[in-house]
Structure 1
């Protein structure tokens, strides 16, 4: 037979018999062929596919033990039927044989009741005693007691006859009776006549009619020497009916093994209970996190699971008044405080509510000092008899409920309550065991529910176990875990409700703001019916263009002219009415700040128009790109607040919380999208989906590129690109670099204008910086940096020269090197640098308080009321000479200018 065995035959056999291979690997497989998930490695041969055994536990655990544990948990463990030794067989065995039999019993029996019943039977036979009993230790270390587990075990009694259930078990406190004395002292007690011992309780004999004579009682100890039980045998049936020293020795040896068996069986049972509890808690956690849209459905699921696990008659969940927040009161952290102080006030004004109303303010309540201070806003009540239907008691019922009074006590103390026989408890004053509805409360377990801030938001209350016994420590541990998940679930539900409420408020606010931020129909109609100047007439194609002589309406008309002469309205089918409304809406959404206002946006757009058509860069771009660049220029500073990104971060503004980088630039882009999405303002309405996606992407890139922090990062790459001789710019990345540099060149183009314009613009910029510096000094208590410090206003010429060297000249030199048509910008920048170097620092005087003048929109034109004491910027004479000297630019100065703008 073995002669025909070879590797090929074996392999063929294994292929045809995969179950045999699976069984063999399960029994004899080495750890190194076992996966981490407990399954066995499949053979590398593609022909052999063995279905993996379902995994039960992780880790390298003995497969036999795992199988036994799984069957035990599922209740499918088949007991090995062994024939019990009768009296004669047991007495004929040697002592070694008897203990080997005992060891076999311990190694194969996992049920502590069956094991102890067998031990007591054998001990009764070996010691010739009439019967025996087993008591196990229960309770905490401070309140331990014995419970009768096996009572009156004889050599012929069955386990069902001797086993005491929770309903029939006898409770014996430590130190009381013979068993209690042994448990407390750990001493052996051998009594010849029980009736002569004062510790013996004759009541049992009187009830049963049984006469107790002799008693041998011993403690059962674990490996740490702690008492885990007490065993006693009664009435020796031979001789003088007294237990001998030999009986004590036999009993002691048996109880050593009994202690081992009880400890092992209890540990195994504890692991099974823990496993079941974990499975139930995992199921609860899954349900909690699946159900986050309704607080009532969440509470119902938790209560049904709690009642099913702990087998109680009644389950009630009380929620404190603070837990059912209204208006998002429980939002926490710095952003929530800023949200309350700033956003809610603006929102309240938008929807015509009082920003200081009680509903929108966080109220910090004092900690309750009595149960009268504890108020429940809602309660959920579940009776086992009601078939899973949850009732919500009225406020009056909760107020008058005696069980609710105990729940208030739990909230007040912050600790669990586990009481039995409530009618005799005095800790709750006059509370008695009957509810208003006649329900009798026999025992109760109350557990506080905490939220993520360790604050009590409710109470879980379980009443009357179905088996009539009090709630034990294991029940308390289970309900404590339940309460943790309940708190998480309630918190998640409340956060979801808060988010929905805030989204609703945001929707209302956006609707209101959209209405007020959009140009009115009469304004639009008036603009549509007016005549528009040509670009040549107004000088839109020149680098020296001056907007100062134009009024506000003329700047809007010039904007329409640029889009029209770029053929964008015709190419992308933009209705003139939509174009006019959108332009007016964009203008309306610029705030009347000193510099970063509508006039600045208009000038940036005109510069881009000139770069494209006069500078000759129009050949590098398609029509959609031209549309995106002009729209980006007009919208690149929308809703500017007159402060920079660094200031937004310092004051922890909502914008800074919303955007982690390029704070204002992201806001400008989002505001641009909001206007486009407003009714009647979508100038992209005729674009295809692909065109729409592309132009929005271009808008975002172009507007974010105006952040000087990004400019410094990209400038080096662009310079390398120009130095390499790039002329086509067909690659998307290269074209994006060019667009980014063009946006910066347009944004700072005031530095290239004729001196009369540059001087005024520089003063406007400086005054806006000084206004921010004043805020930093007054609101934050900080000394502003030099360029924002009004006390250093006389240094403006020096700062302008530094600005030109650090920001302006590098970009205009690089662009001019590539595109000769942009040389007028470089020339203008160099002329203005010379002018600034000629200005004496001591003769420059700026107003302490300034508002934008002719070069910025009037309040009426912006549709926003202005304070009556606002001042116009007064032009100051700039004369004298300053030492002509170049300004060396350092990285620190780059950072300075980056922070400023």
Structure 2
């Protein structure tokens, strides 16, 4: 007796015997209608013992139902083994799909040990092998492509299961051994890899380990496996794109640094140490460099409230920025390199320095220098309306976060970093404080924090002396950060408290009307009245409203906290009445 299993391949029913290893397709002349029931197998008996032929009674043997039960049990066991194996392969694949991003071959090499796999990636209509060679007309040594099977699968999106590759008439498989070991193609299973209805590759499996043809369970398993192969294509492509973007970013950053860095000969225009001391800036001590800055009398006006930078050259402003670090006495204390230069302005402290350490004040001054670096001349809402990439990169406080990241990028450069000699804890602290200080220049955040600042001011009045209040504040990190954030807002708006000729000059230099023109012409939108050139006659009234609602409140609360800032409040009120 022989047992024939019933199965389907490529949608065609067939019988196969595990005893003789023979397959009979049912579409080649054999009657396909055997039973009205779900057929799982066929039993065949030959050469009846003791009789010349089988009778009708033989057809109704009583043990047939029992044999049917055994066959069904065997079939269920077979399905169970297939599903178990499928689960093992898919579970292993799922655990490895995100493990290796660089090479898809390495992802599935171990998982597919029962077959030999060739993965072909479809790239711009051509096939790309794991060796990263693209072929439109493959050479003879690329036997998998020469057969035409991957191309057929990619074009038609069909699953092809070939039982006997050597006798197949549709595809031209090489019949001779493919290598010195004598490896030949016997049977093939090829499937498309689909991503959102788009074929991105073809996975072709050659020769089962037991040498038998692939069956319908193999097709189901491999069809599921191609989903992981598709994810792997996505992962490796994404990884490759990320690497390219990272390389482009590094190139762009190098280009920016090339134009931003100050050359050593330019540094001598600021700190002419070669002429005075016959040595480089990094070889001079703090007193020697301070003496060079003292000789520039114009720089001393930085300590006066009416300081105005309009008449200063860029190099003079750099000297002012350097002078601030010497005024804080942090150059030697934190070993700031002498040949690092920066640009910036200065503002009086109003005795608020008493709350902060030297490290914290250095972080705040650096944040002040970086808080508007690489400004685009437009505000945050314009970045969002225009679809600027910065708006996509930073969800809120768009320009402030750009200034912060740009400043950090400069400070990461060894030739520009003034923090390079800080220890790990100090470096972490100054970067954290810079984050708070620069982001605080977003007025939208100021309105959220000013109630908290008011409570701090009210609390200060409950202390008997300034010294006791100072001791309390020095250890209140959160309150210090709120005061620092409000200080950044006050400094950012400080032009309003300057003498009239200075603040009017600052206003004339603002490009708010220019942004209004851009909104009207480029975005085809109506700008807000303060930026609308057609409503310039309303500008004084709008500015007075801004002074009263925003500026006056800041300086009023600070003057209650420290009387030294009362002068700024008085000048702000005077500006609103001019």
Q: TM-score, normalised by structure 2?
A: 0.82
- The higher radius of gyration belongs to 1
The aligned runs of 1:884-899 (5 Å cut-off) are: none
The answer to whether structure 1 residue 733 and structure 2 residue 478 are counterparts is yes
1:500 corresponding residue in structure 2: 243
1:277 corresponding residue in structure 2: 86
The verdict on how the C-alpha distance between 1:466 and 1:141 changes in structure 2, with shifts beyond 3 A counting, is closer
1:143 corresponding residue in structure 2: 12
Does the Cα contact within 8 Å between 1:174 and 1:184 map onto a contact in 2?
Answer: no
Any idea what the Cα deviations from partners look like across 1:830-869, whole Å, max 9, x if unmatched? 111122xxxxxxxxxxxxxxxxxxxxxxxxxxxxxxxxxx
DSSP-derived class of the 1:539 partner: helix
The verdict on how the C-alpha distance between 1:453 and 1:402 changes in structure 2, with shifts beyond 3 A counting, is closer
The verdict on how the C-alpha distance between 1:426 and 1:773 changes in structure 2, with shifts beyond 3 A counting, is farther
Does the Cα contact within 8 Å between 2:207 and 2:213 map onto a contact in 1?
Answer: yes
The verdict on how the C-alpha distance between 1:695 and 1:440 changes in structure 2, with shifts beyond 3 A counting, is closer
The verdict on how the C-alpha distance between 1:237 and 1:711 changes in structure 2, with shifts beyond 3 A counting, is same
Please, which of 582, 585, 595 is the counterpart of residue 341 of structure 2?
Answer: 582
Please, which of 221, 229, 244 is the counterpart of residue 41 of structure 2?
Answer: 229
Please, which of 120, 128, 149 is the counterpart of residue 377 of structure 1?
Answer: 128
The aligned runs of 1:95-134 (5 Å cut-off) are: 133-134=2-3
Please, which of 700, 711, 714 is the counterpart of residue 449 of structure 2?
Answer: 714
Cα distance, 1:398 vs structure 2: 6.0
Cα distance, 1:455 vs structure 2: 3.5
The aligned runs of 1:527-606 (5 Å cut-off) are: 527-529=270-272, 531-532=293-294, 538-574=300-336, 577-578=338-339, 581-583=340-342, 587=343, 601-602=344-345, 606=346
Cα distance, 1:148 vs structure 2: 4.3
Any idea what the Cα deviations from partners look like across 1:235-273, whole Å, max 9, x if unmatched? 77689976456x66654xx44444444334422331222
The verdict on how the C-alpha distance between 1:404 and 1:647 changes in structure 2, with shifts beyond 3 A counting, is farther
Cα distance in 2 for residues equivalent to 1:266 and 1:778: 75
Cα distance in 1 for residues equivalent to 2:27 and 2:332: 99
Does the Cα contact within 8 Å between 1:518 and 1:678 map onto a contact in 2?
Answer: no
Cα distance, 1:733 vs structure 2: 0.8
1:173 corresponding residue in structure 2: 26
Cα distance in 2 for residues equivalent to 1:175 and 1:461: 27
1:825 corresponding residue in structure 2: 568
Please, which of 654, 663, 667 is the counterpart of residue 402 of structure 2?
Answer: 667
Cα distance in 1 for residues equivalent to 2:177 and 2:82: 37
Does the Cα contact within 8 Å between 2:370 and 2:407 map onto a contact in 1?
Answer: yes
The answer to whether structure 1 residue 684 and structure 2 residue 419 are counterparts is yes
Cα distance, 1:551 vs structure 2: 3.3
1:643 corresponding residue in structure 2: 378
Cα distance in 2 for residues equivalent to 1:746 and 1:137: 85
Cα distance in 2 for residues equivalent to 1:572 and 1:380: 53
The verdict on how the C-alpha distance between 1:803 and 1:537 changes in structure 2, with shifts beyond 3 A counting, is same
Q: Unpaired segments of 5 or more residues in structure 2?
A: 273-291, 462-468
2:120 corresponding residue in structure 1: 318
Does the Cα contact within 8 Å between 1:407 and 1:461 map onto a contact in 2?
Answer: yes
The verdict on how the C-alpha distance between 1:755 and 1:618 changes in structure 2, with shifts beyond 3 A counting, is same
Cα distance in 2 for residues equivalent to 1:380 and 1:404: 19
2:361 corresponding residue in structure 1: 626
The aligned runs of 1:20-31 (5 Å cut-off) are: none
Aligned Cα root-mean-square deviation (Å) = 3.5
What is the total number of aligned residue pairs between the two structures? Answer: 544
DSSP-derived class of the 1:418 partner: strand
Cα distance, 1:781 vs structure 2: 3.5
1:697 corresponding residue in structure 2: 432
Does the Cα contact within 8 Å between 1:401 and 1:436 map onto a contact in 2?
Answer: no
Does the Cα contact within 8 Å between 1:316 and 1:380 map onto a contact in 2?
Answer: no
Cα distance in 2 for residues equivalent to 1:551 and 1:802: 34
Q: TM-score, normalised by structure 1?
A: 0.55
1:184 corresponding residue in structure 2: 34
Cα distance, 1:427 vs structure 2: 4.6
Q: Unpaired segments of 5 or more residues in structure 1?
A: 1-131, 150-163, 187-224, 323-373, 382-391, 588-600, 836-901
Does the Cα contact within 8 Å between 2:193 and 2:226 map onto a contact in 1?
Answer: yes
Does the Cα contact within 8 Å between 1:535 and 1:562 map onto a contact in 2?
Answer: no
Please, which of 446, 453, 465 is the counterpart of residue 190 of structure 2?
Answer: 446
Cα distance, 1:718 vs structure 2: 0.8
